[in-house]
Amino acid sequence: MNMNRRDFLQLLGIASAGGFLLHDNETHAFNSAAQMYQLPRYGNVSLLHITDCHAQLNPVYYREPNVNLGIGVMNGQPPHLVGEKLLKHYGIKPGTSDAYAFTSLDFTEAAKTYGKVGGFAHLCTLVKQIRSSRPGSLLLDGGDTWQGSGTALWSQGQDMIEACIELGVDVMTLHWECTYGAERVKAVENGTLKGKIEVVAQNVKTTDFGDPIFKPYVIREINTIPVAIIGQAFPYSSIAHPRYFVPDWSFGIQEENLQTMIDEVRKKGAQVVVLLSHNGMDVDLKLASRVHGMDAILGGHTHDGVPEPIAVKNSGGTTLVTNAGSNGKFLGVMDFEVKAGKVSGFRYKLLPVFANLLAPDQGMKSLINKLRAPYENRLNEKLATTDTLLYRRGNFNGSFDQLILDALMREKDAPIAFSPGFRWGTSLLPDSTITMEDLLNQTAITYPTTTLTNMSGMQIKTVLEDVCDNLFNPDPYYQQGGDMVRVGGLDYTCDPSAAMGKRIQDMRLGGKLIEADKVYKVAGWAPVSEAARDNGGEPIWDLVARQLRSEKIVKPTLPNIPILKGVTGNTGIL
Ligand SMILES: [Zn+2]
């Protein structure tokens, strides 16, 4: 690290607070922190991996889920481990910086001790440091990079595109990027990114003749060893978002085509084959068992910070499956030893990016300042303060989503509200100011309009069952990777392991059972239909901002969550 010990200790505010590993000895704190990022080189092929940063250029707080249920055989397995169950599985001590990074335990207190995570300037310092000991290494971006902030939305991802070039990303794949529309994605690929970042996706084709939209893979030499990076975009991009963004593209998992691509790159001499995937971890685990010839899947989408790879057996040997979290919080480092034409060993580390422990890279910092400058006033508008921790992540609801639901119900005068189960969205500590930027970190999408719909009790049940099946279908290939739709006003019971159509039970409004034929007013946002786009409507951030300005102080309210059935002993719940 290019700074002296004194500078470092100043950055390391936590050393004086006695936080790091709960020692009050400065030298000890310094050594522990420095050691964490001094990752000795191993082998001859190194791949650095970031994913799902959701356009967070500056350091943030990000609380991991307290509920991440795995159903059936997925129970007890990563990534469906939360809190102490995760700590126990990986041998992480409670109260440490790793416990803060990987779990939601004592979040507010731990966040005060260990500080914010991520930020491209801090990440950049870490990337440079790791790459300096790993000549020829590649930096891979798993997607969900251009979406998730006000600046990304207003610049159509341009801020992130420039930041990723500055960071030194070599290869990327896609998901939310597609919500800027097919033309924008292709124009960026063939324009700003040309010769700098390759976009790969073997599973995106034209709907008419099945022609590939992107390169399926790239083969790069690392220390004379040919390494293939195959891309896998989010398979449900055209279902989970409005179809009109990518009307002529088809997606899907495309298992057979993937096998063909693996065989092809092996024939061309690739000695290491890696899938840069936006499938989500459960899908990747199943895929790894059915396709052979891949050394690793570097995965994203489900935002799981998984400390160690899972080795999956298949007919060709073993494939390692990883997932590298979200919001710029982690950098995955996969080192391979390649001997006699094949991988003979590996080491993997998922490094948390603690902003207090990494000096910001000055070049990246200036770029971020420049990119944000035109928007600063708008971003910094103070809307309210919060007395309570605001967060999103968790299978059923988060306190920030509850705030959105409450605003929707009040503003639309509706007894019920729905809010999408997005997994992005940062966290705010108690006694923080809520700025417009914070609100946009929860809502910045290209189809943000609010809606008011008359729905029968039957229709409400159908919607809940449908989303619940996307989350809990026992076959991962039918899981789309979002969390459950957040529900305001309506109480219900959920049995995640029941069959499709039977998971949602006992729906009640004000204590009274919902009637199948009765019509209810339901407020919502983020509609996917073309008709909804054409109808227009107020963007969600304007509606919530208006509420926050009048409310001034957000008081603690309990997120509305269903009564859960059959989850006793599940490792995915605290
Ligand atoms: Zn994501």
> Residues 251-273: pLDDT tens digits?
999 999 999 999 999 999 999 99
- How far, in Å, is the centroid of ligand 1 from the Cα of 326? 7
Average predicted confidence (pLDDT) for the chain: 94
Which helix (H) or strand (E) segment holds residue 30: the answer is helix 26-37
C-alpha of residue 52 to centroid of ligand 1, in Å: 4
* DSSP calls for 413-442: T-SEEEE---S---BB-TTEEEEHHHHHHH
Between these two residues, 569 and 158, which has the higher pLDDT value? 158
- CA of 110 from ligand 1 middle (Å) equals 24
Counting Cα atoms < 13 Å in the Cβ hemisphere of 30 gives: 13
Residues of the chain with CATH 3.90.780.10: 378-564
Written as one letter, the residue type at 447 is Y
**Cα(345) to centroid of ligand 1, in Å?**
30
Q: How far is the CA of 230 from the centre of ligand 1 (A)?
A: 19
- 452-476: pLDDT as tens digits: 999 999 999 999 999 999 999 999 9
Output the CA torsion 423→429→434→439 (10° steps).
0
| Residue 442 Cα to ligand 1 middle (Å) | 12
Å from CA of 411 to ligand 1 middle:
29
- Please give the class, per CATH, of domain 378-564: alpha beta
Q: Provide the H-helix boundaries in 268-339.
A: 281-290
| pLDDT band of 72, cuts 50, 70, 90 | confident
For 94, 297, 302, 470, the CA distances from 284, given in Å and listed in that order, are 29, 7, 11, 16
Distance 174 CA to ligand 1 centre (A): 10
Cα of 31 from ligand 1 centre, angstroms: 34
The confidence band for 481, taking pLDDT boundaries of 50, 70 and 90, is confident
| Distance in angstroms (rounded) separating the CA atoms of residues 423 and 168 | 26
How do 342-352 and 249-250 pair as beta strands? unpaired
pLDDT at residue 421 in the model: 96
Distance (Å) from CA 241 to ligand 1 centroid: 13
Predicted local confidence at residue 4, as pLDDT: 43
Question: What confidence tens digit (pLDDT) does each residue in 27-56 have?
Answer: 555 566 668 899 999 999 999 999 999 999
CA of 325 from ligand 1 middle (Å) equals 9
Name the token pair of 184. 């924008």
Which residues, 6 or more positions from 394, have their beta carbon under 8 angstroms from its beta carbon? 65, 66, 67, 68, 483, 559
**Burial (CB count <10 Å: 0-12, 13-18, 19+), residue 390:** buried
Find out whether the peptide bond into 79 is cis, omega within 30 degrees of 0.
Answer: yes
Tell me how far the alpha carbon of residue 54 lies from the centroid of ligand 1, in angstroms: 6
Confidence at residue 1, expressed as pLDDT on a 0 to 100 scale = 36
Nearest to 71 by CA among 547, 511, 562, 497: 497
Quick check: 21 pLDDT over 60? no
Contact 428, 556 (CB under 8 A): no
- Determine the distance separating the centroid of ligand 1 and the alpha carbon of 482, expressed in angstroms: 9
Ligand 1 center–CA 497 separation, angstroms: 25
Reported confidence tier of residue 408, pLDDT bands at 50, 70, 90: very high
**pLDDT surpassing 60 at residue 26:** no
Measure 424 CA to ligand 1 centroid, in angstroms.
6
pLDDT the model gives residue 30: 52
Has residue 517 got a pLDDT over 90?
yes
Q: What superfamily does domain 47-60+116-370 belong to in CATH?
A: Metallo-dependent phosphatases (3.60.21.10)
Bridge partner residues of 171 (DSSP): 140, 198
pLDDT in tens, 295-312: 999 999 999 999 999 999
Distance (Å) from CA 481 to ligand 1 centroid? 9
| 484 CA to centre of ligand 1 in angstroms | 15
Q: What's the confidence (pLDDT) of residue 27?
A: 56
What spacing in Å lies between the alpha carbon of 401 and ligand 1's midpoint? 17
The rounded Å distance from CA 133 to ligand 1 centre is 29
Task: Kindly give the distance from the C-alpha atom of residue 336 to the centroid of ligand 1, in angstroms, as a whole number.
Answer: 26
Compute the distance from residue 303 Cα to the ligand 1 centre, in Å.
6
d(CA 104, CA 81): 11
- C-alpha 143 – ligand 1 centre gap (Å): 7
179-202 average pLDDT score: 98
- 392 CA to centre of ligand 1 in angstroms: 13
Percent of the chain beyond pLDDT 90?
A: 90
pLDDT digits (tens, 9 = 90+) for 526-555: 999 999 999 989 999 999 999 999 999 999
Q: Where in the chain is the domain with CATH 3.60.21.10?
A: 47-60+116-370
**Closest of 276, 194, 163, 280 to residue 230, by C-alpha:** 276
The answer to whether 413 and 522 have CB atoms below 8 angstroms apart is: no
Local confidence band at 378 (pLDDT 50, 70, 90 cut-offs): very high
